[in-house]
Amino acid sequence: MRMAETSAWSRIEIIQGDITRLAVDAIVNAANERLAGGGGVDGAIHRAAGQAELQAACRKLGGCPTGDAKLTPGFALPARFIIHTVGPVWAGGHTGESDLLASCYRRSLEVARDAGCRTVAFPAISTGVYGYPFEAATEVALRTLLAALPAMPELEHVILVFFGAPDFEAAQRVAERLRRAQGS
Ligand code: AR6
């Protein structure tokens, strides 16, 4: 890993919590291609933002392809914006899942930067209903952030939010392993 990637660690934080409660510039939603709302973190975000208003804003976007990201206001959330990204459905790992998941993180960062955000929080995209193996997904998330952030100085603070303690602890272990592997 290059020097710039090593220093990007200082802008990444791993926390346990409910992403809908965070007062950041933008939270990322693990949505579906129709942006129709759903269960999991998507359902929680729609409920906390206000179903009717958020659904109306999503309808205007005309869906979102897997790996891409689109912006709406945060409405009743503490966050100013919601960035809706669509993770891949896990199908064994040989259908481009890791590239698509990396693209979710990269595109969400670009959308956040273009909207003037400094702080952005991600859930563990694709690791629930979409079945992406947790540790592999966390490694893709971290590697993508470490590669992208050096070229995005506007994004001061990126938070990876894990809902339960087991996920939070597993994510910390993945991060520790990566840091050791890069010798920092
Ligand atoms: N805060 C943070 N993380 C959460 C929260 C929360 N409030 N609630 C759940 N998680 P999932 P996916 C975690 O299934 O796999 C929806 O129906 C959860 O523990 O929400 O990308 C969409 O409409 C898990 O680790 O997203 C799509 O159809 C992570 O969020 C589909 O599910 C992601 O789990 C997307 O599936």
Q: Are 86 and 107 in contact (CB under 8 A)?
A: no
d(CA 166, CA 168) in angstroms, rounded, equals: 5
Could you tell which of 108, 138, 163 is best to mutate to test the pocket of ligand 1, judged by most ligand atoms within 8 Å of the CB?
163
Distances in Å between the Cα of 77 and the Cα atoms of 6, 22, 64, 146 are 33, 8, 22, 28
Question: Mean pLDDT throughout 41-59?
Answer: 98
Question: Mean pLDDT throughout 112-121?
Answer: 98
55-107 residue pLDDT tens: 999 999 999 999 999 999 999 999 999 999 999 999 999 999 999 999 999 99
1 domain residue, yes or no: no
Q: Are 75 and 43 in contact (CB under 8 A)?
A: no
Q: Are 160 and 109 in contact (CB under 8 A)?
A: no
2 domain residue, yes or no: no
- For 166, the enclosing helix (H) or strand (E) is helix 165-182
184 domain residue, yes or no: no
d(CA 68, CA 33) in angstroms, rounded, equals: 9
Ligand 1 atom nearest residue 125's Cα: 21
Among this protein's residues, is 114 annotated catalytic? no
Question: Mean pLDDT throughout 115-124?
Answer: 98
Domain containing 50 — which CATH number? 3.40.220.10
57 domain residue, yes or no: yes
Give me the helices (H) in 124-164, please.
134-148
161 domain residue, yes or no: yes
Q: Are 18 and 44 in contact (CB under 8 A)?
A: yes
So what's the pLDDT on residue 14? 98
Which phi and psi angles does 19 have, rounded to 5°?
A: -60, -25
So what's the pLDDT on residue 66? 98
CA of 1 to the centre of ligand 1 (A): 30
Domain count within the chain = 1
Domain housing 74: 7-179
